Amino acid sequence: MRLLLVEDNVALADELAARLRAEGYAVDWVVDGRDATVRAHDGDYDLAILDLGLPGRSGMDVLGDWRRTGLPLAVLILTARDSFADRIAGLRAGADDYLPKPFHPDELLLRVRALLRHRHGTVNTPRLSAGGLTLDEERKCVDVGPETVELSAAEFRLLRLLMLNPGRLLSRAAIEEHLYDGETERDSNVVEVLVNRLRRKLGRAAIETRRGLGYRLRDSTHTGDG
């Protein structure tokens, strides 16, 4: 999943970006409200973590622009402003959640996970279930029947994306947009390699290929060629 972090406190942004990447998220970071307004339109982001007190343009103005132009990304406001009026204003402007500073990084990670689950219509529980699989996001492993299978970081990111979009066909380009930040060099066949590695671990029927169109997590009740 790809996140946009908009925060002008360099030390805090460095800490948050590192924690988020350790949890398998691709993170792009900007510090200026003007850059944030444009950057959100340039990438296929799943969620934005948005500070309100930004140079260039306020976070509230940035949020208003995103919503007026119909950007579907979830937005978590992160700010030192903790008054009731500020929270109400942010939520009315289109934020999905509001976390005042100071905060514990673990709380932010849990709120991010909850917002992403809600965005994809999935129940917010510690374990994600879809396609007959159960993914433990804390331990980065998946239950396949009675067995628990360990996943590499890249395998985990791809499987989580597919499980958050059960039955939905995702093109290779869409997968790359959600898995990698703007600075990462992308190997032309990395998605195919990861799909094949997951099939070896989960069973060939777990992921369906539609040639020229993309991939999707197969429903556990469906059979056929992948």
Reading across the β-sheet that carries 141-144, which strands appear in turn?
Answer: 127-130, 133-136, 141-144, 147-150
- Type of residue numbered 25: Y
Q: What is the pLDDT of residues 2-42, one digit of tens each?
A: 999 999 999 999 999 999 999 999 999 999 999 999 999 98
DSSP code of 170? B
Residue 135 has pLDDT above 50, yes or no: yes
Domains, in order of start, for the chain: 2-119 (3.40.50.2300), 127-217 (1.10.10.10)
The pairing of beta strand 141-144 with beta strand 133-136 = antiparallel
Q: Which two tokens stand for residue 79?
A: 């700010």
Question: Tokens 């069973």 map to which residue?
Answer: 203
Rounded to whole angstroms, the Cα distance separating 207 from 226 reads 7
Using alpha carbons, list the distances in angstroms from residue 185 to 172, 176, 182. Answer: 15, 11, 8
pLDDT tens, position by position, 158-213:
999 999 998 889 999 899 888 887 665 566 688 999 999 999 999 998 999 998 89
* Residues written for the chain: 226
- pLDDT score recorded for residue 223: 39
> Can you tell me the distance from the alpha carbon of 122 to that of 80, in angstroms, rounded to the nearest whole number?
30
Choice between 119 and 74, residue whose per-residue pLDDT is larger? 74
